[in-house]
Structure 1
């Protein structure tokens, strides 16, 4: 007696018994036509049973037919979800994730793609327009014309240094795995293609750095060279080389520079060349006297940061950012914030984050003045005076700030100082009149069409930025400004000043009216006094 509790197994068991009868009838002595027809009808019945029930033989059912014997092994195994196609696909994805997790050295990641939430602006701000460096835009059709000039630069270097290309290839080959780990995502280039790209792009960058500092003619290039000359094309290359998606790891440039100079330990030289090359992109060009420089240095009590030190696996954009900050602003820790409730913290955040615009602060009595410093982020507020360093805005400022913000948003070991500054300026500038007043005070100098374009620039930069005000070095300053704004006496005093002391004639008229009022009051007083107490 056979007990089968699985419906599918029971069906296959009955089919196997039927099949046994067919086999026994088929091997009988010389089948008659009637028995052959009976066998065919039995086979058709078996096919109809299988088709109607849409049965699939389980893995645990084994049917063996040997001559006249049929062996049926029926074992009901536990049904595993891993046999399902959907579950199998999930397991494949998990295995792929495991491989990526094991192979992904995240600690070396430093060259990122522009975050999707910052891509709403113009593509020219983060996509190179002249030259592609690195794997992200490698092989882009409209940038291929620069490959010819890259090979020209490499040829000039090898000819000038009397070196062989194999030296460069072998040196970069040793750093290939480390260089790949610096880029976000998987690089589809083969090993040979990746090494060739690193050597070609790296040598091109070094040649551009040298030419901008020492002169391209001194390097053997013609004064009419279409690329290697300080013309419009070089300025376009300059902007492309500062983009976050267009970077080469600094250790690759250091290795190539060491081969060219025969001094492999001079790691800071490339950073020095980079800073001199990107100097025209600085957002401030404040000229300082020697006395002002000494006073500025003495006011900075923190230790000086050296942007030319060994930067590991970072790149030119990071070197430029560090040179902008130099002595990085560090907000004091706020331990008392932990004692408050969550609702209180949110309220404090709002007060610190929402800085009123220039027009509203003027009405509250806040005055604006230009601060004498070459550190554009060094903003001060004292006694109702907001001192802001001079900011130079040109056509490339928007792209520069966008790529700096993107790097701060992506890199885990990076502060948000540039982002804090840009958001602070965005809060100050809501209308073209705000830009006009800052320009009048010498704080903003721009080469754009009008003040409205400057206003739109800051509004676009900060539209989708993810930002925590507690990490901002300007949070305390913002709180001070808001407290000053909330005092009504400051608003009344500012209103009086704007209405009656906005120009010399208004001031004279106010003083004359005040004196007339005093004299009238005195005359009235003495008239009434003499009436009640007449002189004897």
Structure 2
């Protein structure tokens, strides 16, 4: 090897050593995400199918959308709510200071905290609906312990009042898919409002029945009817409890309001991002997508009392047929049932 060649080789070695050293200095021994992290941004692969259902339009309570110009007017509304909240305290200024001290560790601004989830102040109907929808967006969440802290600070403990979870689910009842009043699920630790809604829909049994990552496609309602399958309304209290036995497919009733696509997509996004979540709602979306291929399918399910709808048949078909695109399914709840339907 010539001297020039040896020099070039040494220079390359030095460059490799420097690059390796630089990378080593940047290595993280721990995950940059907290193991308790439960508030994420929606992946771009999911957003591209309908970005609008993940966007906050009226009020922001989480970190991702705070400060947006389009939401500037709602800041005054939140301050008005805060003023109303403070007016209940004997010494408003001292109470505000005490409140800030309690939530300082979470770095949440007192003026950006929601009141709608735990009170029932009358509001213009469209405003209430918009706030309900925004408070259940995946990117627009606050940690539950922060909300609970504020609730405990502003609750008269001498009076017997419903829990924060009960009040929140009552507030969201009209828009969260189930046809009966939902109940908090004590089997799960609540992470935020969207998680509260999800766990109220997911029974402990459903969480245990996760079966297989392989999605099995089934025929539509019309095709199943032609093959002799009968349909029956299932358990109103357990939206995920779909059963097939003796030629009868039993499906719990599901309520599809104007926000149905939004609530489904945000719940699916949550299941995609939180490693502690099973894919129960995603599995239901897949099953319904398979069953609903036409307006005729929706019409039949509606007449059977399985779908309670405020949307047109065409709109329901449209959003179900692209609802779970690009979602990775780690555990498909209805694998066995689907196999039985096609055998």
Partner of 1:307 in structure 2?
185
Q: In 1, Cα distance between the equivalents of 2:154 and 2:176? A: 29
Find out whether 1:409 has 2:272 as its counterpart: yes
Partner of 2:165 in structure 1?
271
Partner of 1:324 in structure 2?
201
Name the CA shift for 1:7/1:390 in 2 (closer, same or farther; >3 Å): closer
Partner of 1:365 in structure 2?
228
Question: Secondary structure of 1:386's partner?
Answer: strand
Find out whether 1:209 has 2:117 as its counterpart: yes
The alpha carbon displacement at 1:411 in A equals 0.8
RMSD: 3.1
Pick from 111, 133, 136 the counterpart of residue 200 of structure 1: 111
Name the CA shift for 1:157/1:83 in 2 (closer, same or farther; >3 Å): farther
Query: 1:30-52 CA distances to partner (integer Å, 9 max, x unpaired)?
Result: xxxxxxxxxxxxxxxxxxxxxxx
Q: In 1, Cα distance between the equivalents of 2:188 and 2:292? A: 38
Q: In 1, Cα distance between the equivalents of 2:144 and 2:171? A: 15
Paired residues for 1:8-407 under 5 Å = 79=10, 81=12, 84=15, 92=22, 95-98=25-28, 102=30, 104-161=32-89, 162-163=91-92, 164=94, 165-173=96-104, 175-176=105-106, 194-196=107-109, 199-202=110-113, 205=114, 207-212=115-120, 216=121, 229-261=123-155, 269-285=163-179, 307-308=185-186, 311=189, 314-330=191-207, 349=214, 353-407=216-270
Q: In 1, Cα distance between the equivalents of 2:271 and 2:185? A: 16
Q: With structure 1 as the length reference, what TM-score do the two structures score?
A: 0.57
Give the conservation status (yes or no) of the 8 Å contact 2:99–2:150: yes
Q: In 1, Cα distance between the equivalents of 2:341 and 2:136? A: 34
Find out whether 1:463 has 2:325 as its counterpart: yes
Question: Secondary structure of 1:329's partner?
Answer: helix
Alignment: residue pair count = 335
Q: In 2, Cα distance between the equivalents of 1:252 and 1:410? A: 21
Q: In 1, Cα distance between the equivalents of 2:84 and 2:235? A: 44
Partner of 2:337 in structure 1?
477
Q: In 1, Cα distance between the equivalents of 2:186 and 2:208? A: 24
Name the CA shift for 1:245/1:89 in 2 (closer, same or farther; >3 Å): farther
Q: In 2, Cα distance between the equivalents of 1:8 and 1:80? A: 10
Q: In 2, Cα distance between the equivalents of 1:327 and 1:109? A: 22
The alpha carbon displacement at 1:421 in A equals 0.9
More contact order relative to length (CA 8 Å, sep ≥ 6): 2
Q: In 2, Cα distance between the equivalents of 1:122 and 1:143? A: 20
Name the CA shift for 1:328/1:424 in 2 (closer, same or farther; >3 Å): same
Give the conservation status (yes or no) of the 8 Å contact 2:210–2:332: no
Unaligned stretches of 5+ in structure 2? none
Q: In 2, Cα distance between the equivalents of 1:477 and 1:242? A: 30
Query: 1:307-336 CA distances to partner (integer Å, 9 max, x unpaired)?
Result: 257726x111111111112344146587xx
Give the conservation status (yes or no) of the 8 Å contact 1:306–1:326: no
Give the conservation status (yes or no) of the 8 Å contact 1:308–1:319: no
Q: In 2, Cα distance between the equivalents of 1:247 and 1:311? A: 16
The alpha carbon displacement at 1:94 in A equals 5.1
Give the conservation status (yes or no) of the 8 Å contact 1:331–1:473: no
Q: In 2, Cα distance between the equivalents of 1:459 and 1:269? A: 38
Q: With structure 2 as the length reference, what TM-score do the two structures score?
A: 0.86
Q: In 2, Cα distance between the equivalents of 1:8 and 1:378? A: 72
Rg larger for: 1
Pick from 314, 322, 338 the counterpart of residue 452 of structure 1: 314
Moved over 3 A (4+): 5-9, 78-84, 86-97, 330-334
